[in-house]
Amino acid sequence: MICTSGADDSFAIDFSGVEVESTTMQLLEQEREELEAVLGRRVSFRRAVANEPGWVVRHPEVAGAAPELRRVAKDRFVSIVGSEADLIATISALHTLVHRDTDVVVVDPVESVDEAVALIREEIANTYPSFSIRGIDWEKICDSYLRDVPSISDFSGFAASWVAELGDAHTSIKTVDSGGYNPPYRGVLASAGVHLSHVPMRSAAYDAGVREGWVVSVADVAWWERTVGATPQQLSQVQARRALSFTDGVREFIATDPVGGARAQWREVALPPSIESTVQVSRDAGGGCVVQLRSFDARVDLHAVFDDLIDDARSTDRLTLDLRGNTGGSLLLATSLRDRFLRDETLIGSIAFSDGRGRLVPRRKRRAVPSERSCWPGSLEVLIDSMTYSASEDFILGLQGLEHVSVRGTVTGGGSGRPRRVSVLPGIDLTISTAVTYDREGHPVEFHGIRPDSA
């Protein structure tokens, strides 16, 4: 949404020149501190007045041209874009524009391995916010890795291993084979494959006879150990998750029982998200409501689920929200659901963004207010573990410490995120974390995670 109020001495962000989803604009407004960190001044989302400091959108002269970010004056920027995706790419390019001190950035892959190496090295050095938190010397890592750079055909694996040294699941190399569908199993990666710790009932593996403790065969364990980075508390689990993911819609799996020697094979089909696969609601022995939430998936109407729960609060004033294994999803959805558990304006914590020039700006406090939708009137217990990560941690921030909220389990994964995406080579992108979040006491969530009130 664009504010159209009167005079304003802030830097105007006016993206009305391209069609943008309302949720995208809401997220940009919520995370405006990132733009302020890089631009070095206060911003507001409103109509821009001619020649005032601001950022506007124009369409390319040639349809399908690569998106561009241009600085046309000291405090005036133009995104040359034809779509929302192009616009997001140019917002990410702002970091590149300021640390190169250039007037134009064309968002397009580079053409050679040497250029790709220089790009990755430069972008991480100028963007990554938590070298000191992790005790990492990026230049030392680069000097070690760049002694023997492979050809372009082997570059994606090399680059993934290099970036994985940061130990940050948000900061990684993405290819056309990255991500995709994550089946609903949990485990740890070890030399024999993925040792399963959770096999849901009514899943394809469960129907095939697979149970917790079984080992799923993985073609190249060493590949995943080398190319996937994450915090120590979640590393082997993130590696297992990546090793089980697939992009082609269907994948065949084989698992064995290391105790009895039984063997099972099943076909896993990628299913679209649904209420049933994302959230399960039940009752505990005392009649309290238990909600197991697998992800903050914006494609599922989770607010409708919570509407029903809150309407049913007459039957119980106790709710247990199980976020164990919830690796995040939509930040906007997670924080809007969090606000349904607030009772007053609340200090959430603080956040510091990188400025695109290799520095972290001073922390900014963040506050939140109760949702305009109906709010939960009773007590809330949140269950967490090391795979509670990213947007799930933002959900917890601000709730932990309130007298009606308790947090139980083990330390979370530690990922502040807010990653930006950089095109490297055709089919190869780099994502880089840009922020460090802190709780009310000033403890960083990044790397260290959120500690429970009790086990």
SS3 322: strand
SS3 393: helix
- Tell whether 370 and 253 lie within a shared domain: no
SS3 109: coil
Residue 93 lies in a domain: yes
Q: Which structural domain range is residue 366 located in?
A: 275-438
Please state the pTM of the whole predicted model.
Answer: 0.94
CA distances to 158, 183, 188, 266 from 216, in Å: 26, 13, 10, 11
Interval 133-185: pLDDT, tens: 999 999 999 999 999 999 999 999 999 999 999 999 999 999 987 778 999 99
- Tell whether 255 and 303 lie within a shared domain: no
Interval 190-207: pLDDT, tens: 999 999 999 999 999 999
Residue 113 lies in a domain: no
pLDDT for residue 92: 98
- Tell whether 283 and 265 lie within a shared domain: no
Residue 20 lies in a domain: yes
- Tell whether 250 and 292 lie within a shared domain: no
- Tell whether 201 and 93 lie within a shared domain: no
The number of domains in the chain is: 3
Residue 146 lies in a domain: no
- Tell whether 386 and 316 lie within a shared domain: yes
Nearest residue to 161 (alpha-carbon basis) of 181, 146, 176, 180: 146
Interval 336-393: pLDDT, tens: 999 999 999 999 999 999 999 999 999 999 999 999 999 999 999 999 999 999 999 9
Final residue belonging to a domain, choices 80, 106, 132: 106
């709730």: which residue's tokens? 399
Q: What CATH number is attached to the domain comprising 65?
A: 3.30.379.10
- Tell whether 208 and 295 lie within a shared domain: no
- Tell whether 227 and 308 lie within a shared domain: no
Q: Is the dihedral of CA 370, 374, 377, 378 positive or negative?
A: negative
Q: What CATH number is attached to the domain comprising 430?
A: 3.90.226.10
- Tell whether 254 and 279 lie within a shared domain: no
347 neighbors 365 (Cβ within 8 angstroms): yes
Residue 151 lies in a domain: no
